[in-house]
Structure 1
Amino acid sequence: MADAAPLALCELHYAVAGDWNARSSGLVDALPAPCRLCGSSLGVRFPSGWLCAECEWRHGDIVDAELAPPRLDIVYYLRYADRVKIGTTANPRQRLAAIMHEEVLAFERGDRMLERRRHAQFALERYERTEWFRLSDRILEHVDALRGGTADPWAALARWRSRAAAATLT
């Protein structure tokens, strides 16, 4: 019998129960290779094969290069010195390359309507007639909430894209 086990089973029966659970619920483990859709290295192993733990793409399936990626609008928060730009785009790499900034603070799923709401929300910090705002505690608190404990906004964007792409295929 295993010490501190929740049930009084012998080692053999714990092994049998563990195997049964892995077959029915899957076993979280490192994928044999990164997911082709989102790049995650974490997967769920089933007897029938692997699924990406992040986007649920079946490991080994080929991503059809002819499929257009789903449109995903985001609101971005860029810092330059003591200012923050709040804007929106569907192509952040291209858009952000055109804007001088020191740091990508956060991304938020949303379109121009959400961008307008954020501009109104932080109107007291706004530089008149621009999309630039004074860096404030209120904006930093909002950015921290958007990050959700993750420091890399690009990772969040990759997750959103992979989920959107997987949703179009199911």
Structure 2
Amino acid sequence: MTDSNSACLASDNGHKCPRTADVLLPVALCNAHRIEVALAIVPDMLRDALASSLTSSVPAGGVRDDLVTMATATPIEGLLGGAHDSIVYFIANGGRVKIGYTTNLKGRISALSLRADSVLLALLGGFELERALHARFAQYRNGDTEWFELSSEIFHYASARNAAILGIAPLPAAEVMVGPSAATAARREKRKARAFRVYADLGQPSQRAFIKVWRERKYGETDQTVRDLYNEMHTAFENARKGSAGESK
């Protein structure tokens, strides 16, 4: 039963919803927004339930480890607009990482009350790949959930696949620590990957041009951090250029 004076707390394109709430718990929503929330969350919940049911009935020997080895990463930024083809995601939260699959990464991030920069990796694939990954990293799994300890092995797996689509080397093993610090290392690597992409796209730009594009892409970070990233990329590209020039003599 609802209070006829209760307003829907959702918004329509940035404006307060003018409709009366049809439900009050857990949040006051009109019928249209209640359906919108259900469409974003319920399909993934049903897929998770199905995956759990199927996994419990499949022998361990049936897991295809080749799927884990051959899995291909896809840029995370291109998945944040809404529905998309099925992907397997690695979402970090402190010293843990959730490995699951979805066709709406944006909705899944929202359902977990996390931010987009919590996503460490997105792989092309669905239930079979998810199941294979769960088997590969079983020793780090928290019970029967999709949450795993963010171990150095899992971090390196994500790092190597992200590096492959960017054409750069993954973070050296010596720089990775097990536990919460691995999440910090993941974020540091993600910043470097973005800096590499911006610098390469602009073709060795000035610091001002680099910062301008960084801000246009809404990558965040403090001004000093962005300057430091530019300097790091500039030095790396200059060293690579000098090395290539030396080899050609």
- In the superposition, the TM-score normalised over structure 1's length comes to 0.46
Q: Specify which structure has the higher proportion of helix.
A: 2
Structure number with higher relative contact order (C-alpha < 8 Å, ≥ 6 residues apart):
1
- In the superposition, the TM-score normalised over structure 2's length comes to 0.32
